[in-house]
Copies of this chain bind each other. A is one copy, B any other.
Amino acid sequence: MRIALDAMGGDYAPAVTVEGAVEALSENDELSVILVGDEAEISRELRKKASTRLKISIKHASQTVEMDESPLTALRRKKDSSLRVAIDLVKVGEADAMVSAGNSGVVMATALHVLGKIPGIERPAIAAVMPTLKGRFILIDAGANVDCKPVHLHQFAVMGEAYARYIFNVESPKIGLLGIGEEDAKGNELTREAIKLLRNSHVNFIGNVEGKEVFAGEADVVVCDGFVGNIALKISEGLAEAITKMLKREISENAAGRIGYLFLKGALKNFKRKTDYSEYGGAPLLGINKPCIISHGRSTSKAIKNAIKVAGTLHSKNVLGIISKECNEGLSRREEVVVKE
């Protein structure tokens, strides 16, 4: 699998992007990576880290997209940005998938413009992975579509299901609709209509799930519109950070606390690992015609490495082909789908 990596995207690029690529390649022989961006900068980073045997190459791009740049401006004026060139490589068939930790709005708009949608999918969505007491759940849509129709939520469910099944190996993923009460009649106009579609679909739909239940691991896939999903995601990130800071403050204000912390270090480290977004690498733009992964702007090399792995698996298992098939054939012929290994 050939992955195009936007080497200039993210807060710590190109150092961590190059490092992430090198780590991914050293763990998987079937991968090759094209680092896209400023050739001089990338070469310098690469010299620090890479062994010559790695299947890695550089594709020069003269521009970079800023984190606060609007999608429209970037599409018009940044035709030689690292992000755009990486996506173009997928378009012309020189890469199978692409990864960027850059401006997520621009990644989405550019991918949609250049690569288009999977036939049958009306709106691509961002699928984010979040930790639970039992493991993890997929939140879809985590921010791509702020105003949705019921049919969009239904398609998000189908895409999230395929992702849970083929990337996380959940046999029959439980799909929940993010809501404010268990009964079907509770919710807003959008969810009350969407729940009717979901009840009649072939996904394993468990009904509305409340915010309190998602972290208990009630559902494998939690469906919502992108406005609600992005708020849920950011609220969770913000709260987790705030709790960590508050705990640290309490501990450091207290002598016994400081001693306790020494003993607790191992447990806290384990805890951090389990709730660490970088374990999951990134969020695929499901519904785009080729595998595209958005990584967190603050991605570490580990997050980049894992995003490259997920991009490779999306391609090798033909997850997008499966999604297209399921959406177009009425979701009823799952058993006929042949997984391309």
Contacts and interface: CB of A to CB of B under 8 A. Distances in A.
A261 B267 CA distance: 10
Given A263-B263, A264-B257, A214 B238 contact: yes
Contact of A215 (B179, B224, B242, B251): B242
Contacts of A271: 246-247, 250
Interface of A: 131-133, 143, 146-147, 178-180, 187-189, 191, 210-216, 224-228, 230-243, 245-247, 250-251, 253-254, 256-257, 259-268, 270-271, 274-275
Contact of A266 (B224, B233, B239, B254): B254
B231 A212 contact: no
Given A132-B242, A133-B242, A180-B234, A253 B267 contact: yes
A210 B234 contact: yes
Contacts of A270: 250, 254
Q: What's the number of copies of this chain in the assembled complex?
A: 2
The 7 closest A-B pairs by CB, nearest first: A260-B263, A211-B234, A260-B264, A211-B235, A215-B242, A250-B267, A212-B238
Contact of A254 (B226, B243, B267): B267
A227 B180 contact: yes
A146 B180 contact: yes
A243 B275 contact: yes
Given A232-B232, A260-B261, A260-B267, A239 B227 contact: no
Given A211-B233, A212-B237, 17 more contacts: A133-B242, A146-B189, A180-B234, A211-B230, A211-B235, A211-B238, A214-B235, A216-B242, A228-B228, A231-B232, A232-B232, A236-B239, A239-B240, A246-B274, A256-B263, A257-B266, A264-B264
Contacts of A147: 188-189
Nearest to A217: B242
Given A133-B242, A240-B239, A260-B263, A250 B231 contact: no
A143 B179 CA distance: 11
A216 B242 CA distance: 7
Contacts of A266: 254, 256-257
Contacts of A187: 146, 227
Nearest to A274: B246
B238 A215 contact: yes
Contacts of A262: 260
A188 B227 CA distance: 7
A143 B245 CA distance: 28
Given A242-B132, A275-B243, A188 B146 contact: yes
